[in-house]
């Protein structure tokens, strides 16, 4: 059987390890070492919890900075949630990707799937190549979802799939698994996101904006908009019955009731149920004649 190293980051990586420990603990013996990633752009990157798990299970850990030293040795590397390049000339690399490839190759595919309103989310294990997420498929698992759904729940759902696929990979002789080729006709891509991409585009439909708010919430930075010249974070929102607005102007507040503003969208109306200012305090909406942007 192959000697395997893991490069992991985030809740999905931790839950995958915990799933193996809970269901097939003997498979932990296949793991030679764990490289633990850190990410300052999320509320919790789970790096300390991953290190604690490894310590309890006698697994050698490395930081990402020491990853390319000579000591880590394995036939294969399995990458979970990993955001950095791995030398595929040195190691045979299996990447676990947050989508049902060939859909959403590239960056933050789970967020993209939720914004797009997909009825299924999933995880695909592929062989890493020098082209982005184009490698042949080892395993793929999916789960159906219903809306509204927040990103935390979606992460929880796919974390279980990560665990199942990690068990599949650790149970197999990776050199002899018959892999399937991706269908290029069905391929699509998901672009990187930065801070600017957290801002709500009020010209979109109320339905899509609500999905966006739920998709970029905790553990991410949350959907942003400007209200009264100040930046706020929208945590919860709900579509409400639309009206025939002759001079529809996306972003304008239509009405305010019980401190909950109803905002005009490109299509439909959206009620903001909860929002925080930059100090983390609840926003009180008092001014009607305001355009969100």
pLDDT band at 146 (very low <50, low <70, confident <90, very high): very high
pLDDT tens profile 234-267:
999 999 999 999 999 999 999 999 999 999 999 9
The sign of the torsion formed by the CA atoms of 206, 250, 202, 225 equals negative
Position 87 scores a pLDDT of: 82
Q: What is the pLDDT averaged over residues 94-111?
A: 96
Position 288 scores a pLDDT of: 93
**pLDDT score of 81 more than 80:** yes
Q: What is the pLDDT averaged over residues 277-293?
A: 94
The two structure tokens encoding residue 230: 């100040």
Most confident of 68-72, 89-93, 210-214: 210-214
The two structure tokens encoding residue 177: 């698994």
pLDDT tens profile 5-64:
999 999 999 999 999 999 999 999 999 999 999 888 777 889 999 999 999 999 999 988
Domains of the chain: 4-190 (3.40.50.170), 195-276 (3.10.25.10)
Proportion of the chain above pLDDT 70, given as a percent: 98
The two structure tokens encoding residue 48: 């300390």
- Token pair 């890493």 is found at 128
The two structure tokens encoding residue 240: 């409400």
Position 70 scores a pLDDT of: 56
The torsion angles phi and psi of 221, rounded to 5 degrees, stand at -80, -15
Least confident of 86-100, 251-265, 272-286: 86-100
- Count of residues in the chain: 293
Average pLDDT score, the chain: 93
The two structure tokens encoding residue 72: 């880590």
Which residue did the predictor score with more confidence, 90 or 258? 258
Separation CA 66–CA 79 (nearest Å) = 16
Beta-bridged to residue 94, according to DSSP, are 78, 127
Proportion of the chain above pLDDT 90, given as a percent: 83
Position 255 scores a pLDDT of: 97
Global confidence as pTM: 0.92
pLDDT band at 68 (very low <50, low <70, confident <90, very high): low
Separation CA 28–CA 12 (nearest Å) = 17
């Amino acid at each position: 059987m192959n000697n395997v190293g893991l490069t992991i980051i985030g809740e999905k990586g931790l839950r995958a390890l915990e799933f193996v420990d809970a269901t097939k603990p003997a498979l932990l013996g296949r793991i030679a070492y764990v490289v633990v990633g850190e990410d300052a752009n999320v509320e919790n990157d789970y790096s300390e919890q991953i290190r604690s798990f490894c310590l309890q299970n006698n697994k050698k850990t490395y930081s990402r900075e020491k990853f390319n030293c000579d000591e880590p040795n394995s036939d294969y590397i399995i990458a979970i949630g990993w955001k950095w390049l791995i030398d595929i000339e040195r190691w045979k690399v299996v990447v676990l990707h947050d989508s049902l490839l060939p859909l959403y190759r590239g960056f933050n595919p789970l967020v993209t799937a939720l914004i797009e309103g997909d009825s299924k989310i999933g995880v695909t294990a592929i062989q890493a190549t020098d082209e982005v997420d184009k490698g042949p498929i080892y395993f793929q698992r999916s789960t159906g979802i219903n809306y509204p759904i927040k990103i935390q729940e979606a992460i929880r759902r796919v974390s279980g799939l990560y665990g199942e696929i990690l068990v599949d990979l650790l149970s197999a002789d990776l050199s002899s698994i018959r892999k399937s080729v991706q269908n290029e006709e069905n391929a699509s891509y998901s672009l990187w996101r930065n801070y600017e991409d957290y801002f709500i585009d009020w010209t979109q439909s109320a339905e899509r904006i609500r999905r966006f708010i739920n998709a970029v919430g905790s553990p991410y930075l949350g959907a942003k908009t400007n209200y009264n010249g100040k930046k706020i974070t929208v945590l919860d929102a709900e579509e409400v019955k639309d009206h025939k607005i002759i001079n529809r102007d996306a972003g304008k507040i239509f009405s305010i009731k019980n401190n909950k503003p109803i905002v005009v969208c490109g299509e439909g109306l959206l009620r903001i149920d909860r929002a925080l200012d930059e100090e983390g305090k609840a926003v009180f909406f008092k001014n009607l004649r305001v355009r969100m942007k």
